[in-house]
């Protein structure tokens, strides 16, 4: 899984990361935007749209400040944010 930023520069960084993984014979299971702002701007919305069209699936976005949640609250909320199966 590759965790991406939402803002300017993330497309270049994400594509280079995916390329580096591919060169090493590794496949990314998906992309996650690591801190999605409450009020996303045009660049962030464009980036999310672009990332959603890549061959590697965009699994979701963690809302900004999610890292401040307790581990129990984070785990309980994660299925709302991410397109992953819970176990």
Q: What is the pLDDT of residues 29-45, one digit of tens each?
A: 999 999 999 999 999 99
What ranges do the domains of the chain cover? 59-87
CA distances from 7 to 30, 32, 50, 61, 72 (A): 18, 13, 12, 13, 28
C-beta of residue 81 within 8 angstroms of C-beta of residue 42? no
Record the pTM: 0.87
Mean pLDDT value across residues 51-55: 97
What's residue 86's pLDDT? 55
DSSP class of residue 26 equals -
Mean pLDDT value across residues 22-28: 97
**Tens-place pLDDT, residues 54-81:** 999 999 999 999 999 999 999 999 999 9
Q: How far apart are CA 10 and CA 49, in angstroms?
A: 12
Q: For residue 4, count other CB atoms closer than 10 A to its CB.
A: 20
């Amino acid at each position: 899984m590759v965790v991406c930023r939402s803002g300017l520069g993330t497309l270049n960084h994400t594509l280079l990361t995916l390329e580096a993984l591919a060169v090493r014979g590794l496949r990314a299971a998906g992309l996650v935007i690591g801190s999605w702002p409450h009020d996303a701007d045009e660049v962030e919305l464009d980036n999310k749209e672009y990332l959603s069209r890549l061959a590697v699936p965009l699994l979701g976005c963690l809302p900004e400040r999610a890292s401040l949640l307790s581990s129990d609250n984070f785990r309980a909320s994660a299925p709302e944010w991410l397109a992953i199966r819970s176990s």
